[in-house]
Chain A
């Protein structure tokens, strides 16, 4: 069938165990509910327990056999300019991915993999979605992983002998202190709160309501006191959860670079290693979170495009660093994106549009509150919602003040605020289409919204300047045209 000189390689034997565990996990999640029902419906007689245990033993044995068979059936290798993966016990499949279509070779080390000292290797192409890797090898040893990486990436790189030997140069490591600060200021309390909500439902199942009522009655007879205790407690737990989530994901975050590739290592329980080819980076996002900006801290993301039509990822490039050091890091990691020109502000007349837009939700709330309190409660406390207006107006003013744009050295820089203040840098040659949008209200004030986008995961990622002067918007639309791009490329082609 295949009689080429380079033979395909087997996975690390740990793949058998990992495959078997996967099978067991899948079948258990499918049978756990009927199994429990069976167990309890029969009454917990020794006979049924024995039956269930026997079933589990059979399942484990089958899974082990299946793990072995699929290990034996799986082989991979780099053959003749493409990556090959052969799989399947009964239904054989062979996948061939041309090396130039490989977007990156990422590794993930879950808990089971760590126990065996092996890596799950994902060969991501750009054709597929971002969630499912195009080829996944569940277990490779350290050496095999490095060999495969070199086999795939080496073919794409210029062979620069000496540099290759030195290995990736570490640009920045996240210290434990910064990791904790990143968690504490991540602003993911909302996510954690929803997790808590789910958790509390599970919790409810285990403790009776009466137990709770006793607890509450003895602790806090007064509803107000209860709220005063409960709300900060829940917020604190949510905050700790948010910190824990960040620690799990970003522990030991290391950004390094070798040649035209960035490498990112991170993770506490599950170690991940991702590769980002520099030439696929479309834009860099510097985000100063609401809680981080007062401390002069920021995080970095990259928007990276895949090969061909879609795919690509938006990935964390560095989770937390002082804003002052962003440019220095970018100069080393992705020099194309290291610019921080003085930004052009929006015209004064845009301020009232920003304030008005920010006020709309507050106005709606105030109106609804007033209406309900007058009609239903026949009281005027609904007017208290008017108190919402000043903070919302302030928010609108902040958004106005922080919005800005600049065009420097063929790179577009756009800054805006939603809650976090975000600065996006994109080279002109990465911009896809540009548009100038004008609403009837903007037309009266000679304002417009300028928008452009870069390729990224899920279709595209937008850069927008809302309410800049109409003439500036038109200037941007023209100045960012691809015409100058062609000229520059031709100049670049000269020796």
Chain B
């Protein structure tokens, strides 16, 4: 097994993850704001304790929006070899997954609204035991990867 797969995701992935991370944090922030409000207004704890929920969630949000996407992008690597697809991902829990092309049943590309805005796509490939994906590739590169996986899969079938 090589030390690391060769290809990286598109650098714009970080932007997409930041935006989607921020959007995901919104409800949590609202909840924490409400909790702080309740604590201050009705429970009447001191200001320092009352703002704790809000501050905590705010710190979490800053961390997950600013720090994590960078780390995540640096770790995420992939490589499509003639016999298998090699994926490496994870910020703290690092996982390395090898998917034999001979087991891939079909591939497709997907694009969410946010991804469309930044011209990114996700390649999803399915085996009989579930799906794997390479997220956030520039759309033309994703299309190329999809076609390459499909072609290689066919080749494996003919062997």
A residues sitting closer than 8 Å to B (CB atoms) are 305, 308-310, 431-440, 443, 453-456, 459-461, 474, 477-478, 481-483, 485-486, 489-490
Contacts and interface: CB of A to CB of B under 8 A. Distances in A.
Contact of B94 (A437, A478, A486): A437
B79 to A, nearest CB: 14
Nearest to B102: A482
Interface string B112-133: 0000000000000011111010
Nearest to A490: B159
A481 B156 CA distance: 13
B4 to A, nearest CB: 13
Interface of B: 1, 83-84, 90, 92-103, 105, 126-130, 132, 156, 159
B82 to A, nearest CB: 9
Mostly, the A contact residues are mixed
A481 B98 contact: yes
Contacts of A309: 105, 126, 128
Contact of A305 (B84, B95, B128, B132): B128
Nearest to A480: B98
Contacts of A459: 129-130
Contacts of A443: 94
A410 to B, nearest CB: 14
B106 to A, nearest CB: 8
A438 B93 CA distance: 5
Given A433-B132, A453-B129, A456-B129, A482 B84 contact: yes
B127 A432 contact: yes
Contacts of A432: 99-100, 103, 127-130
A439 B93 contact: yes
B95 to A, nearest CB: 4
B96 A433 contact: no
A308 B92 CA distance: 35
25 contacts: A305-B128, A308-B105, A310-B128, A431-B103, A432-B99, A432-B127, A433-B127, A435-B95, A435-B96, A435-B97, A437-B90, A437-B93, A437-B96, A453-B130, A454-B129, A459-B129, A459-B130, A477-B1, A477-B98, A481-B100, A482-B83, A482-B156, A483-B83, A486-B102, A490-B159
Contacts of B126: 309
B93 A433 contact: no
Contacts of A440: 92-93
Contact of B1 (A439, A456, A461, A478): A478
A434 B97 contact: yes
B103 A482 contact: yes
Given A432-B99, A440-B92, A482-B156, 14 more contacts: A431-B103, A432-B103, A432-B130, A433-B97, A433-B103, A434-B97, A455-B128, A461-B129, A477-B98, A481-B83, A483-B83, A485-B100, A485-B102, A486-B102
Please indicate which of the listed interface residues A432, A483, A486 has the most CB atoms of chain B within 10 Å of its own CB: A432
B102 to A, nearest CB: 5
Contacts of A482: 83-84, 100-103, 156
Ranked nearest first, the 6 interchain pairs of A and B with the lowest CB-CB distance are A460-B129, A455-B128, A482-B100, A432-B129, A435-B97, A433-B99
